[in-house]
Amino acid sequence: MTSYETKLDHLEAWLEWSHEEYFVTDPPSTEDILAQSSRSPAMPRPVMDLQDEFNFGKHAGSRLEAVIDSDPGYIEWLIANNVVPFTRSAVAHMDENDIEMTGA
């Protein structure tokens, strides 16, 4: 079974569990969900380019290039926490804007 199929099996099992009742009276804690996901193979993350839009976080709907220019601290946080990988052109633009790339 591929890692994608394994992750899909985990997701389907969780959805089945979470919808046993119309309202889940005792949902798993965030720590439990994170612990479970850390044991499962990770699905590949999409690589962001300058023209791509964020589909998460406080800059959802904004292009990466605009966020680099307007909120470099957010980009540094993404890098430090290994949230999303970036293309070479995006990294070059970050370097031009003196964004810390070490992740520390």
pLDDT digits (tens, 9 = 90+) for 2-48: 566 776 666 666 556 544 444 455 666 767 766 665 555 555 567 88
Q: What is the spatial distance between Cα 40 and Cα 22, in angstroms, rounded to a whole number?
A: 27
Residue 98 pLDDT > 60: yes
Look at residue 64 in the predicted model and tell me its pLDDT: 94
Q: What is the largest CA-CA distance in the chain?
A: 53
Q: What is the spatial distance between Cα 72 and Cα 66, in angstroms, rounded to a whole number?
A: 10
**Residue 4, Cβ neighbours under 10 Å: how many?**
11
Q: What is the spatial distance between Cα 29 and Cα 41, in angstroms, rounded to a whole number?
A: 20
Quickly state the pLDDT bin for 75 (edges 50, 70, 90). very high
Compute CA distances 98 → 48, 62, 67, 84, whole Å.
18, 20, 14, 19
